[in-house]
Amino acid sequence: MHSDLAALAVAGVRGLQPYEPGKPTEELERELNIKVAAKLASNENPLGPSPRVVQAIIEHLQGLAYYPDGSAFALKKALASRHGVQSDCITLGNGSNDVLDLIARAFLGPGRAAVFSRHAFAVYPIATQAVGATARVAPANAVDHLMPYGHDLEAMLSMIDAQTRVVFVANPNNPTGTWLSCTPLQAFIDAVPRDVLVVVDEAYFEYVQESAYPDTSKWLVRFPHLIVTRTFSKIHALAGLRIGYGLSDPSVAELLNRVRQPFNVNSLAQVGALSALNDDDHVRQSVEINTQGMRELTSAFRERGLRFIPSVGNFVCVDLIQPAMPIYQALLKEGVIVRPVANYGLPNHLRISIGTREQNRLFLKSLDKVLAL
């Protein structure tokens, strides 16, 4: 772009780096003229969507001429019953990223600030700065901490000031996979002033198998300043459909819905999500594949003397003890796409999404080959 035109952008946007997604399979195939063997770059579910969801979507294709139900009556009713809340506590988004954006647009702006942790999900700074608010980044846990690179709740609390309107907490966090247990998280939310919203991003909720991991949606009654976000992109394997949601006090949801585009969630996404809620077997199976794959990958890292950040998500960050970018590039040539995380302040790590057994083995084989070079 011509530099004069770039200067036209608002200050927050001028200071932003665009979000870097995982390299699309088609792009690598186009660039290197090879067949991609494994894409383990975007925390997608290797099982794929539930066949029931696919069937439900096919059956609704004829309805494409009509606008979706802007209030998503049926899906909200199902979500409300699942979470034991009223429908007016729910805000639907075009992915949960959209909900994070709605939160920024409704509650942040020039002269206001959002607090989040270093190494936290990249959408928080984008949503914050895009609306002209200030990002206050709290230092993360030290490398020798039990939860290395994870959220330091005390540090986050101490960053909250009179300008702060939103605190973003990823539980578990992406890309680290670190998590917060019930007691400290509850104490944190309680300690945050009631005029500051605490957003707990639970995109990987269903994957977590730890008994001390909290379902914060149960705390909405106690904490009117709490917003919980969930998504259908991860365990439900519907990342391409774009649907997620927020749970909050009805008055907060009402504000979010004021800035929401009336048809932000398309009709197929509504139908697909509704159907996904009725396939618990698919969720169970996805968790099983992930648990098994995580075990395989982490024990392979241990065998190779490679340290990794303990993760409860469907991905794991491995420390290559050297700049990870060249290794990432070399893996691409093997047809294996993983995720460099230098933009998250982790230049020696690669983030690997857990794949099928075959994909995990192929990644390990390629890693061995590449590291031996």
Ligand X SMILES: *Cc1c(COP(=O)(O)O)cnc(C)c1O
3-class DSSP assignment, residue 359: helix
Among positions 128, 129, 231, 264, the unique one binding ligand X when judged by CB under 6 A: 231
Q: What is the DSSP-derived secondary structure letter of residue 231?
A: E
Pairing of strands 197-201, 164-170: parallel
Report the residue number, 293 or 313, with the smaller CB distance to ligand X: 313
Q: Does 95 interact with ligand X (rule: CB under 6 A)? A: yes
- Taking the complex as a whole, how short is the minimal distance between the CB of residue 121 and ligand X, in angstroms? 4
Cα separation, 322 vs 334, whole angstroms? 19
Residues 6+ away with beta carbon under 8 Å from 368:
304
Report the residue number, 174 or 264, with the smaller CB distance to ligand X: 174
Among positions 37, 47, 239, 342, the unique one binding ligand X when judged by CB under 6 A: 239
Report the residue number, 334 or 351, with the smaller CB distance to ligand X: 351
CB-based contact 336:304 (threshold 8 Å): no
Among positions 44, 101, 152, 201, the unique one binding ligand X when judged by CB under 6 A: 201
Q: Does 203 interact with ligand X (rule: CB under 6 A)? A: yes
Q: Does 97 interact with ligand X (rule: CB under 6 A)? A: yes
Where do we find the tokens 């459909």? 241
Q: What is the DSSP-derived secondary structure letter of residue 229?
A: E
Q: Does 121 interact with ligand X (rule: CB under 6 A)? A: yes
- Taking the complex as a whole, how short is the minimal distance between the CB of residue 93 and ligand X, in angstroms? 7
- Taking the complex as a whole, how short is the minimal distance between the CB of residue 103 and ligand X, in angstroms? 12
3-class DSSP assignment, residue 272: helix
Q: Does 244 interact with ligand X (rule: CB under 6 A)? A: yes
Rounded to the nearest 10 degrees, the angle between the axes of helix 25-32 and helix 324-333 is 80
Q: Does 43 interact with ligand X (rule: CB under 6 A)? A: yes
Residues 6+ away with beta carbon under 8 Å from 188:
153, 156, 157, 169, 180, 198
Pattern of binders to ligand X over 152-181, x per CB under 6 A? ------------------x---x-------
- Taking the complex as a whole, how short is the minimal distance between the CB of residue 228 and ligand X, in angstroms? 12
- Taking the complex as a whole, how short is the minimal distance between the CB of residue 322 and ligand X, in angstroms? 26
Report the residue number, 330 or 342, with the smaller CB distance to ligand X: 342
Q: Which of 239, 221, 120, 215 is nearest to 175 (CA)?
A: 120
Q: Does 117 interact with ligand X (rule: CB under 6 A)? A: no
Report the residue number, 201 or 249, with the smaller CB distance to ligand X: 201
Residues 6+ away with beta carbon under 8 Å from 297:
316, 352, 354, 360, 363, 364
Contact residues toward ligand X (CB under 6 A) are 43, 95-97, 121, 170, 174, 201, 203, 231, 233-234, 239, 244
